Structure 1
Amino acid sequence: MMKRNKLMMLTLSMMLLIPLLTACGGEAKQNEQERVLRIGVLYGGGDEQYIRQEYTDIFEYMNGNISIEIVPAVDTSEYRYSDSAGPDPTEEMRKQLTGANPVDVVILDRDSFQQFVRDGQFKQLDALIQKDGFDTSDIIPSVMDTIKMMGDGNIYGLTPTFTSNALYYNKTLFKEAGVELPTDNMTWDEAFELARRVANGEGKDRTYGFSFNQYRGGNAFYSVANYAAPLQLRKYDDKAEKMTINTPQWEKLYDTIAKLSQDNIMPGRKDEDNGGSYGEGRYSPLDNDLFLSGKAAMILSYYSYTSDLFDANKNAGKIKNFQMPEWDVVTIPHHPEAPGISSGMRFDSIMAINTQAQNPDDAWKFVQFINGEDWAKIRSRSTYELVTRKSFIKPKEGMNYNIQSFYAMKPAPSNPVEDKLNREYRNLWIIDNSVYELFEKRIEGKLTTADMLKQWETKGNQLLPMIKKNPNGSIYDDEAVQKAVYGY
C-alpha cells in the first residue's frame, strides 16, 4: 500500500513537472526565436534586397533563431525627389550607434569606419579572434595592414571583399610596336614612357599609349585626382578657407597629364578624331571601349573589367572584323615618393561591432561567418569584387592573367581632415568644376600649367567663402557662383 502511494505521488509529481518543463522549454525556444540582430548601413530604404542577398539571407538561413533587421542611417527614398542633399550619413549613423535602440553591427565604407574607430565607437576584435581561433592568416596582407593601421595596430573591423584596379595591357599592340611589355611595380614615369613608345597612327587610326579608363570621350582633368591621391596633396587648407593648389608639386602632376593629352598619348584633346565603329551603323559594345577596340595599348580598370574581356572573347565570332587581343595585367604604377601605394583599392563593406551592441554575441557570430572561409568560397564567384581571403582569389574559369596585381599594392591612406571637410561642406565639388575649362585651355596650348593654377587659385578663393556660407544647399545656380566658375 505504501509503495503504491509512493508511486502515485511520484506519478503526480511528474505530471505536474512535465507542463512546467514544457513551459520553460517553450519559453526558451520563444526567446531564441525572438533574438534580433540589428545591422546598420549608411544608405537604404525601400528595397533591402541587395544587402539581404549579399550578406544576411544565408546567415539567417543557417541561424533560424536569429532575425536580421536592416537599419539604414539615411533613407534615400525620402530624398529621391528633393533638391536637398539630405543629412550627413555619418552623423545619422552616429545616432544609430548611440541612440536608445542601438544597432549591433555596422557595414561601412573605409572613411566612415575610420572616423568611428577614432571615436572609440567599435569593439576591439583582437581578443575575440584569439579566443575563438578565428583564422586571419589567409586574409591578404594589404587588407589586414590597412585595417590595423586604422586601429593603431588593433583590429576593430573586418572586410570580406574589396575592389581594386590594375594596369591592363594589350600584348598584341606592344609586340607589333616592338616595345617591351609592362611589368609589375613600374613607376608612373616608366609607364608613361612605354605609352609614348607604343602610341602610333593619326586621326581615326590613332592608337593611344595609355588611358586612365577604358571609355571614349573622358576628360583628362578628372584623372589627375586618382593619379595624385597617393601623394596626399591638398587643394585647400584645413579650414577650407584658402586654396593651396598653386605649388610646384601640383604643377608637375597637372603638367604631366596635360602633356600626355596634348601629345595624343592619352585621350583628352578636343580636336582628336579617333572614332570608328565595328558595327558599321549598328551598336556594338566595343564602340566606347578603347581597350577592346584596340585604341589604347594600356588602361587602368577595376577587376570587374575582366568580365567584359571574358564576354568579348566568348562572343568574338559575332563581331565583324574583331579579333580578341592577347592581354594581361600588372600592378598599377606608383610614385617614387609613395612606393607600393595605389589609389585604386577600396573597402566598401567593413563590418564592425558597436560597443553599445544589444546582441554582441550574435554580432560577432555574423562578422565571423561573413569574413570566414565558407562565405569566401561562395562569394569568390563574384564578377565585380574580390574576396579578401587569398586562397579563394583565382582567375575566372578558362582565363589566365596576373591576378596578384589586383592585391599586391597597398591602398592610399585617407586624409581625416579632407574627409571631415567633405562631410561638412558637400559643395566643395564645385572647386574642381571651376578649373575644367582652364584645363582644356592648357591642353590646347592657350595657357601654361602655371597660369592655369594661378587662375584656379583665384577662382577657388572666391568660391570657398560662398561654399562655407551655404555648405549643403544648392548654390550652383547662384549668379555669384556662376561668375566665379565661368567668369560671367
Structure 2
Amino acid sequence: MTNKRLKCLLSAAALVWIAACGTGSSDNETKSAELPESAPPKAAEPAKPKEPVELVIFSNTGDSQEGFNSIHGNIIRQKFPDYTFTYIQNKPGSTLPELIAQKQRIDLIYQNISYFYELGSSGNLLYDMTELVQTNKIDLGKFEPTLIDGIRNSGGGKLYGLPVTNVGFVMYYNKEIFDKFGVPYPKDGMYWDELTELAAKLTRKEGDKQYLGFATDLFALMNNPLSIPLLDPKTEKPTFTQDGWNKLLETFVLKPADNPAYKDRTAVLKNIPYRFEFTNSQELAMFAFISKFPQAVPETLEKVNWDMAALPTFRDLPGVGTQTTPEMFGITSMASNKQAAMEVIHYLTTKEAQMMYSKKGLMPVINDPEVKQAFGTGSSFQNINWKAVYYNKPAPITVRTNYQLTVEGILRKHAVQLVLGNSDLNTALRTASEEAEKAVAELKR
C-alpha cells in the first residue's frame, strides 16, 4: 500500500485504552553445588532490576490526548503506575507511514471494529492474539453475545483484538424544541413510520429560525439493523444492488429529507445535517447518533436540554436495533512486550474496569447484569433515559473488510446526492456499487 493511500486512510478515519500489569516472573530456584568444607559460601547474586515497560498506543479515531485519558488513559495509569503509556493520535507529523519510516515502535492499536482491520493491515500491524488469550486464561464467554464472533469473522477466524467498550445507536432529542411546539417527546419502542410523522410536526419555521425534525449520522447505515455488509465477505464485491439497501436509504435518508427545508440545509452544508445542528445552532429536534456522544463531547451537550430514546425499529423486525460497534485494542506484530500488552487489555475487560466504564455511560462489553445496571449512574448528566441504550436487541455484527472506509465514503457521497435530488434511489445504488467495485480493485492492485 502506498504512503499516499495510507495517509488518506488515516486522515479520513478520524471520526465519531489500555492497561497493563506487571510481567516480572519469579526467580527460578537454584540448587547450590556441594563445596569443600574449606571453601567460603558463595555470595548470592543481586537480583536483576526489572526492565521498564513502555507501551505505545496508536489510533486514528480522532480522540485527543485529553479525550483518550478521560475514557481509558486515566484508568490504566491508575492501575499500573509503574508503566509508561504513550498515546499517539494520527495527525500530520505522526501519521502511520511517518511513524513507521521513523522506526517508531507501536505496541497497541485502538479503533472501532469498522476501521480496525483497515488500519492494522495498512501498516502490517495485525497480530493474532489467540495464543496469548489462552495462556492468560481470558474467558471469552464473558463477553456480550455477537462481539467475539463479529471480531473473529472480520479477522478471518483470527483474534486480532479484544473489545473494551461498545457503541450502539440511540436517538437524542432537544426537549426545548418539543416544548416550543407542544409536541410529545419520543418514546422507546417507536417504529420508523411513527418517527417520520413525528419529525414532520417539528420541521417548521419560527421567526428566522428553520427547525428540522430528524437527521441521522450515516454511520447508522454501516451498522444497519438488517445486518447487510458493505462488501460481500467472500467475494469482496459491493452489496448495494442487493435487497435491503433501498429500504435502508429510504428510511434513514429519503423520508427525513422529504421537505424543502431539509434539502436547502443539505445544500448549504454540502452534507446531511449533523450533530452541530443539534448542539450548536439547536435547529435539529432529533438526531440518531452513537451512544458514546455524551462522553465524547460532554461540554458540547451541556448546552442542550436533551434526553434520549431508543432508536425506532422496522415493523417487520420489532425490537431489533442497529449493530453495535465494539471499540478494540489489538497487540501489534512489532510490540516488544506482547505479554505486558496482553495483560493491559485483559485488565480493561475485567469487571472492575468494565464497571468504571458503565458508570460513565460507556457500554460495557461483558455480559454482567450488575455492570449493566450501573450504566450511566456516575455520569455528569442526570435524569437521562439511559436504559434506551439497551432497549433494543442489537443486530448481528457484519464482517468488516480492509476496504471498509473507502466503500463507506462512496455510499455517503451518493446519500447526499439523493437528498439533493440529483439522483434517484436505484441509480444512486447502482452507481455507488460500480464505483466501489472499481475502488476496491484498484486498492488490491
What's the TM-score, normalizing by structure 1? 0.57
| Percent identity for Structure 1 against Structure 2 | 15
CA distance in 2 between counterparts of 1:301 and 1:170 reads 13
Aligned equivalent of 2:147: 146
CA distance in 2 between counterparts of 1:236 and 1:366 reads 33
Q: Is the 8 A contact 1:191 1:333 kept in 2?
A: yes
Shift of 1:401: 0.8
One-letter amino acid of the structure 1 residue matched with residue 131 of structure 2: K
CA distance in 2 between counterparts of 1:367 and 1:459 reads 38
Aligned equivalent of 1:34: 51
Q: Is the 8 A contact 1:197 1:209 kept in 2?
A: yes
SS in 1 for 2:278: coil
Q: 1:10 to 1:127 in 2, by over 3 A?
A: closer
Say which structure is richer in helix: 1
SS in 1 for 2:289: strand
CA distance in 1 between counterparts of 2:339 and 2:308 reads 42
Shift of 1:412: 4.3
Shift of 1:255: 3.5
SS in 2 for 1:401: coil
SS in 2 for 1:185: coil
Shift of 1:375: 3.8
CA distance in 2 between counterparts of 1:438 and 1:225 reads 16
Aligned counterpart for 1:394 among listed residues 367, 376, 382: 376
Confirm whether residue 471 of structure 1 aligns to residue 422 of structure 2: no
One-letter amino acid of the structure 1 residue matched with residue 77 of structure 2: D
Confirm whether residue 328 of structure 1 aligns to residue 323 of structure 2: no
SS in 2 for 1:210: strand
Return 5+ residue gaps in structure 2 as ranges.
1-34, 270-274, 366-370
Shift of 1:168: 1.6
Confirm whether residue 369 of structure 1 aligns to residue 323 of structure 2: no
Aligned equivalent of 2:210: 206
Q: Is the 8 A contact 1:334 1:341 kept in 2?
A: yes
Aligned equivalent of 1:123: 131
One-letter amino acid of the structure 2 residue matched with residue 262 of structure 1: D
Confirm whether residue 186 of structure 1 aligns to residue 206 of structure 2: no
Q: 1:106 to 1:149 in 2, by over 3 A?
A: same
For residues 419-438 of structure 1, the C-alpha deviation after alignment (integer angstroms, 9 at most, x for no partner) is 14x16xx7545643663674
For residues 362-414 of structure 1, the C-alpha deviation after alignment (integer angstroms, 9 at most, x for no partner) is 5554344333344456666768x455543553242462111122344455444
Aligned counterpart for 1:249 among listed residues 234, 244, 247: 244
Please say which structure displays the higher CA radius of gyration: 1
Return 5+ residue gaps in structure 1 as ranges.
1-8, 88-95, 97-101, 214-221, 275-286, 317-323, 474-488
Q: 1:343 to 1:374 in 2, by over 3 A?
A: same
CA distance in 1 between counterparts of 2:381 and 2:390 reads 21
CA distance in 2 between counterparts of 1:145 and 1:408 reads 17
Shift of 1:184: 1.7
The 5-angstrom pairing of residues 281-360 of structure 1 reads 288-290=276-278, 293-306=281-294, 311=299, 325=305, 327-343=306-322, 345-350=324-329
Aligned equivalent of 1:439: 418
Q: Is the 8 A contact 1:329 1:401 kept in 2?
A: yes
For residues 276-324 of structure 1, the C-alpha deviation after alignment (integer angstroms, 9 at most, x for no partner) is xxxxxxxxxxx9443575523322233454369975797x7xxxxxxx6
Q: 1:48 to 1:357 in 2, by over 3 A?
A: same
SS in 2 for 1:182: coil
Q: Is the 8 A contact 1:245 1:453 kept in 2?
A: no
Q: 1:433 to 1:311 in 2, by over 3 A?
A: closer
One-letter amino acid of the structure 2 residue matched with residue 335 of structure 1: F
CA distance in 1 between counterparts of 2:197 and 2:442 reads 45
Aligned equivalent of 2:166: 162
What's the TM-score, normalizing by structure 2? 0.61
Aligned equivalent of 2:257: 261
SS in 2 for 1:168: strand
Q: 1:188 to 1:39 in 2, by over 3 A?
A: same
SS in 1 for 2:228: coil
Confirm whether residue 110 of structure 1 aligns to residue 113 of structure 2: yes
Whose relative contact order is higher, 1 or 2, with alpha carbons under 8 Å and at least 6 apart? 2
CA distance in 1 between counterparts of 2:84 and 2:247 reads 51
For residues 155-201 of structure 1, the C-alpha deviation after alignment (integer angstroms, 9 at most, x for no partner) is 96653323344212234444554544322232322322322244444
**How many pairs align?**
380
CA distance in 1 between counterparts of 2:182 and 2:263 reads 26
One-letter amino acid of the structure 1 residue matched with residue 385 of structure 2: N
For residues 421-476 of structure 1, the C-alpha deviation after alignment (integer angstroms, 9 at most, x for no partner) is x16xx75456436636742452xxx76x3xx4236525753x45753553279xxx
